[in-house]
């Protein structure tokens, strides 16, 4: 059995859908952040896979993924910093409860 | 002539306005008063120097070899240069009438400045609130009036015309805590502004078709070999008329462009000079302090209309229609005002209506002036009467001010029998009355006689009419005189001092003006002020005017005046029931005169019922309901819609993502369906 492109894309798709589902349904901001990471990683996988199968010998997709991973790490650090600060102020990290600056 | 002195004449009052207006509240009252008076005194001396230089220096820029007086532009600055042809200039034009007015304005203004030092404080020496402001406004007025009479072009005149209107407004409303003074100042401002609308349109029409603002271009030709010197000349005005007629100028309602322009310009003069039907503001303007009434509403500002017509006189000569309108308006106003003055109780109102009547005399005189008749006698007579009237009417107003200051009331019913208490005021007031009544040898006799002669030369009907008005003048002035100083013994109310003559600052101007009123008639005006500068007499001496009298006219007017005075003496010298009987015999006439022929009521009816009711109110309704309504409707719809949809922007990011996701899926589905 040959490993075609579908073998990679279907798990990636599942991962992405899990991310979307989690992002929409979870109220905990940490959980939402994890879901976001899931989506990002699914996209990263797609980049690598498409590079591997469509343009063998080229490296753009690989490097793009590397940059995306670095950016995701930075973004996660930032997001967690915000979440911690929100927690310090309101003692809660439910996204529905963070309404202090809304009105 | 070097422009230094003329510039100082204009700059000094302006500087004093700024100094007293900006720093006055930091000065002592006395300092402000002395400063204002002194600076006006200096201005007066400089104006005298200028005028004497103009009339008597014999310099070739002022008079030519034949003795014709010339117009001399002392300086003329480009103030606003819009294009090459549209330039608004500010300058100083010296000619007989501006030189004359320089003397009149500065003399009266100085007298009033001096007088106000006494008038604007009460019997305990407490200064009036805003004393310094009062002097600042007086200076502003003097500056504006001087700028008006020396204007080189009609636009400069318009600018200063509005400035005198504004300073008149400020001074009428000087007691701004009194509602009557506030409404009087507003009335004066609005009525004259309405008239000035006509003036402005007239200026624009005239300037549009002639392409110039300068008076010298309208009425005079340049003198050869001399820069800035002009000679008044009918051919120039004729040329302007032909030029307008040759260019395709429209004819509007049967009148040519020039006629309409001149009539509209005269409308501005009607407003300023309180001619019917725009006279209603002047009696109310008496709410201002009495020195202001003497300066602005008797001697100087109100004759600006006469001055305007005189300034453009050669143009008016081109349009008989305009001159006839001036005659008719003047004659009707003169008679009307004299009738009303016969029954007023407030002494300042009597003087105000008398002023209207006398200015109307000047207007009639200008209206009947023709070059064919005695070298345009009417023009000279109008200017002569302007001069003498300024002196004796300022005198009468200042006397009235002294009386009001002593009694504390404007009504003669509170006065009566004051001759022993206030002898100086009594004698000077009597001289003023004799002058205005036209008794020889006082000033008014000569000028009024010249006017009547000029009218006689033009129309017998108006001559009889104006003689009757002159008789009425003598009657109402002596009625006023007897009711103030005779009638019955003066009764001082409990707790008041007996009235007495006022401080020297107030009596000195009275005496000076009384002396001037005695001798001003002998000034040989015919050789000083004529419409084209040509002298009327070969040689002059002190008795020239006496010798030049037309005795048939003079005797009649003298007889009429003496008869009227005798009638007033019989009716008002001692308390008697005759006036009351007269009143009950003609109740209707008395009522109409007392209520000034209901002009104010007519104006109230027109403005409130017709303009406000039929025009303003529907417009206001349209504005409030249709224009505001459509705007409000748009705002209302926007608001309702935003209330309805604002729930969508919840700030809930998970909802946003959900909607986004659904949208993407739907879009994908639609794309798929379309592609398949």
- What's chain A's length in residues? 103
For the ranges B262-271, B337-346, B498-507, B616-625, the lowest mean pLDDT is seen at B498-507
pLDDT band, residue B422 (cuts 50/70/90): confident
Determine, for residues A99 and B651 on separate chains, whether the beta-carbon distance falls below 8 Å. yes
Q: Give which of A24, A28, A94, A99 to mutate to test B binding, by max B Cβ within 10 Å.
A: A24
Per-residue pLDDT, B576:
84
Q: Which residues of B touch A24 (CB under 8 A)?
A: 654, 657-658, 661
CB within 8 Å: B658 and A102: no
Instruction: Please report residues of A whose CB lies closer than 8 A to that of B662.
Output: none
pLDDT at B646: 85
* Contact: A25, B657; criterion CB under 8 Å: no
Q: Higher pLDDT residue, B670 or B488?
A: B670
Question: Would you say residue B641 has pLDDT above 90?
Answer: yes
| Closest residue to B657, CB basis, from A23, A96, A99 | A23
More confident of the two residues B402 and B496: B402
**The 3-state secondary structure of chain A, one letter per residue:** CCCCHHHHHHHHHHHHHHHHHHHHHCCEHHHHHHHHHHHHHHHHHHHHHHHHHHCCCCCHHHHHHHHHHHHHHHHHHHHHHHHHHHHHHHCCCECCCCCCCCC
Identify the residue with better confidence: B618 or B548. B618
User: Mean pLDDT of all residues in chain B?
Assistant: 88
Q: What is the DSSP letter of B539?
A: S
Peptide bond into B646 cis (omega under 30): no
Q: Name the residue with higher pLDDT: B676 or B17.
A: B17
Predicted confidence (pLDDT) per residue in B107-131, tens digit: 999 999 999 988 888 877 788 888 8
> Does residue A90 belong to any structural domain of this protein?
yes
CB B334 within 8 A of CB B388: no
Does A103 have pLDDT greater than 70?
no
pLDDT top residue among B617 and B532? B617
Nearest CB to B654; choose among A23, A99, A102: A23
Query: Percent of chain B beyond pLDDT 90?
Result: 43
* Count, residues in chain B: 676
Q: How far is it, in rounded angstroms, from Cα A16 to Cα A8? A: 12
Chain B residues near any Cβ of chain A (below 8 Å): 651-654, 657-658, 661
Q: Averaged over B74-84, what is the pLDDT?
A: 87
Q: Cα(B122)–Cα(A9) distance, rounded to whole angstroms?
A: 106
The token duo for B579 is: 């006036």
Other Cβ atoms within 10 Å of B197 Cβ, number? 14
Strand order in the sheet with B220-222: B87-94, B71-81, B229-232, B220-222
Task: Test A23 with B652 for CB contact under 8 angstroms.
Answer: no
Contact A20 B657 (CB under 8 A): yes
Position B664 confidence tier, pLDDT thresholds 50, 70, 90: very high
Q: Is residue A2 part of a domain?
A: no
The verdict on residue A102 lying in a domain is no
How much is the pLDDT for A33?
A: 93
Per-residue pLDDT at B587 exceeds 90: no
For residue B277, cis peptide bond before it (omega within 30 degrees of 0): yes
- Per-residue pLDDT at B578 exceeds 90: no
Of B396, B403, B476, B484, which is closest to residue B443 (Cα–Cα)?
Answer: B396
Considering only CB atoms, which chain A residues are within 8 Å of B651?
A: 99, 102
Q: What integer pLDDT is reported at residue B622 of this predicted model?
A: 93
Q: Which residue of chain A is at minimal alpha-carbon distance from B657?
A: A24
User: A24 at the B interface (CB within 8 A)?
Assistant: yes
Token pair in block for residue B41? 């005194």
Cβ contacts from A onto B, under 8 A: 16
Distance from CA of B657 to the nearest CA of A (A): 7
Please report the pLDDT score of residue B417 as a whole number.
Answer: 81
The reply to whether A1 falls in a domain is: no
- For residue B658, the chain A residues in CB contact (below 8 A) are 24
Answer whether B657 sits within 8 Å of A24, measured CB to CB. Answer: yes
Nearest-by-Cβ selection for A20 from B652, B653, B661 = B661
Q: What is the pTM of this model?
A: 0.81
> pLDDT digit string (tens) for B277-315?
888 999 888 988 999 999 988 889 999 999 999 999 988
A4 and B CB contact within 8 Å: no
B657 to chain A: which residues are within 8 Å by CB? 20, 23-24
What tens digit of pLDDT does each residue of B376-408 get?
888 999 999 999 999 999 999 999 998 888 888
Nearest-10 crossing angle of helices B443-458, B377-407: 140
What integer is the mean pLDDT of B28-35?
89
Overall average pLDDT of the B221-242 stretch: 84
Is A24 close to B658, i.e. CB distance below 8 A?
yes
Assess A85–B contact: CB distance below 8 Å, yes or no: no
For residue B441, name the pLDDT band (cuts at 50, 70, 90): confident
Strands B229-232 and B71-81: antiparallel
What CATH code is carried by the domain that includes residue A33?
Answer: 1.10.287.3510
CA distance B663 to chain A (A): 14
Count of structural domains, chain A: 1
Give the DSSP per-residue string, B1-36.
--SHHHHHHHHHHHHHHHHHHHHGGGS-HHHHHHHH
Answer whether B653 sits within 8 Å of A95, measured CB to CB. yes
Measured in degrees and rounded to the nearest 5, phi and psi for residue B144 equal -65, -40
**Mean pLDDT value across residues B62-80:** 87
Residue A30 and residue A66: Cα distance in Å, rounded? Answer: 24
A64 within some domain: yes
Task: Classify residue A65: in a domain, yes or no.
Answer: yes
In this prediction the ipTM stands at 0.82
Higher pLDDT, B373 or B200: B200
| Band of pLDDT at residue B648, cut at 50, 70 and 90 | confident
pLDDT score for B355: 93
Vertex B636, ends B634 and B642: CA angle to 5°? 105
In sequence order, the 6+-apart residues with CB closer than 8 A to the CB of B102 are B9, B47, B50, B51, B146, B149, B150
pLDDT recorded at residue B573: 84
- Name chain A contacts of B663, Cβ cutoff 8 Å: none
Q: Is residue A3 part of a domain?
A: no
Nearest to A102 among B651, B658, B661 (CB): B651
Give the domain range for residue A63: 8-97
Which residues in B lie closer than 8 A to residue A99 (C-beta atoms)? 651
* Any B CB within 8 A of A25 CB: yes
Contacts A32 to B, Cβ<8 Å:
654
Distance CA B285, CA B189 (A): 10
Substitution target in B646, B647, B651 with the highest count of A β-carbons within 10 Å is B651
């Amino acid at each position: 059995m040959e490993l075609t492109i579908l073998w990679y894309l279907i798990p990636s798709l599942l991962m992405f859908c899990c991310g979307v589902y989690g992002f929409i349904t979870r109220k905990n901001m940490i959980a939402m952040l994890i879901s976001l990471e899931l989506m990002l990683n699914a996209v990263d996988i797609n980049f690598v896979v498409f590079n591997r199968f469509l343009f063998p010998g080229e490296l753009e997709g690989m490097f793009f993924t590397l940059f995306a991973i670095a950016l995701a790490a930075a973004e996660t650090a930032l997001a967690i910093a915000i979440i911690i600060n929100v927690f310090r102020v309101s003692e809660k990290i439910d996204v529905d409860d963070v309404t202090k600056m809304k009105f | 002539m070097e422009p230094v002195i003329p510039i100082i004449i204009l700059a000094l009052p302006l500087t004093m306005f700024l100094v007293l207006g900006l720093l006055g509240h930091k000065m002592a009252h006395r300092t402000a008063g002395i400063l204002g008076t002194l600076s006006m005194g200096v201005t007066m001396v400089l104006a005298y120097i200028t005028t004497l230089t103009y009339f008597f220096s014999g310099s070739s820029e002022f008079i030519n070899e034949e003795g014709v007086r010339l117009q001399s532009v002392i300086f003329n600055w480009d103030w606003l240069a819009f294009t090459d042809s549209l330039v608004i200039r500010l300058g100083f034009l010296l000619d007989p009438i501006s030189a004359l007015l320089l003397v009149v304005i500065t003399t009266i203004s100085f007298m009033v400045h001096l007088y106000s030092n006494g008038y604007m404080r009460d019997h305990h020496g407490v200064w009036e609130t805003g004393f310094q402001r009062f002097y600042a406004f007086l200076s502003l007025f003097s500056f504006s009036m001087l700028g008006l009479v020396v204007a080189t072009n009609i636009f400069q005149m318009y600018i200063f015309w509005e400035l005198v209107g504004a300073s008149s407004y400020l001074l009428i409303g000087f007691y701004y805590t009194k509602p009557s003074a506030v409404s009087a100042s507003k009335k004066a401002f609005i009525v004259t502004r309405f008239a000035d609308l006509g003036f402005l349109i007239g200026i624009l029409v005239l300037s549009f078709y002639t392409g110039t603002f300068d008076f010298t271009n309208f009425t005079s030709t340049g003198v050869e070999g001399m820069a800035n010197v002009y000679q008044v000349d009918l051919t120039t005005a004729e040329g302007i008329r032909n030029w307008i007629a040759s260019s395709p100028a429209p004819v509007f309602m049967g009148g040519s462009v020039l006629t309409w322009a001149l009539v509209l310009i005269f409308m501005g003069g009607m407003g300023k000079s309180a001619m019917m039907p725009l006279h209603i503001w002047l009696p109310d303007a008496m709410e201002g302090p009495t020195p202001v009434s003497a300066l602005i509403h008797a001697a100087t500002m109100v004759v600006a209309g006469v001055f305007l017509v005189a300034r453009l006189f050669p143009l008016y000569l081109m349009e008989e229609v305009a001159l006839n309108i001036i005659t008719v308006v003047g004659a009707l106003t003169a008679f009307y005002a004299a009738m009303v003055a016969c029954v007023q109780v407030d002494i300042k109102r009597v003087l105000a209506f008398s002023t209207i009547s006398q200015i109307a005399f000047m207007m009639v005189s200008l209206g009947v002036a023709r070059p064919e008749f005695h070298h345009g006698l009417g023009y000279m007579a109008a200017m002569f009467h302007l001069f003498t009237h300024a002196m004796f009417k300022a005198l009468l107003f200042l006397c009235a001010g002294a009386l009001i200051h002593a009694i504390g009331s404007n009504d003669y019913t509170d006065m009566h029998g004051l001759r022993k208490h206030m002898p100086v005021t009594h004698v000077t007031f009597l001289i003023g009355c004799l002058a205005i009544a036209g008794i020889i040898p006082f000033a008014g006799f000569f000028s009024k006689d010249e006017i009547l002669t000029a009218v006689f030369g033009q129309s017998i009907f108006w001559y009889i009419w104006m003689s009757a008005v002159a008789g009425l003048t003598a009657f109402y002035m002596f009625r006023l005189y007897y009711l103030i100083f005779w009638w019955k013994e003066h009764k001082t109310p409990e707790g008041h001092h007996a009235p007495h003559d006022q401080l020297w600052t107030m009596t000195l101007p009275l005496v000076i003006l009384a002396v001037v009123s005695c001798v001003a008639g002998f000034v040989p005006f015919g050789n000083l002020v004529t419409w084209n500068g040509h002298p009327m007499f070969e040689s002059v001496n002190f008795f020239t005017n006496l010798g030049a009298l037309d005795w048939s006219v003079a005797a009649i007017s003298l007889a009429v005046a003496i008869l009227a005075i005798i009638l007033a003496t019989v009716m008002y010298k001692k308390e008697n029931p005759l006036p009351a009987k007269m009143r009950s015999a003609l109740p209707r006439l008395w009522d109409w005169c007392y209520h000034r022929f209901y002009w104010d009521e007519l104006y109230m009816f027109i403005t409130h019922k017709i303009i406000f009711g039929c025009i303003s109110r529907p417009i206001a309704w349209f504005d409030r309901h249709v224009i505001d309504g459509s705007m409000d409707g748009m705002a209302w719809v926007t608001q309702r819609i935003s209330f309805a949809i604002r729930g969508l922007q919840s700030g809930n990011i998970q909802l946003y993502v959900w909607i986004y996701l659904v949208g993407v899926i739907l879009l994908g589905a639609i794309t798929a369906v379309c592609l398949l």
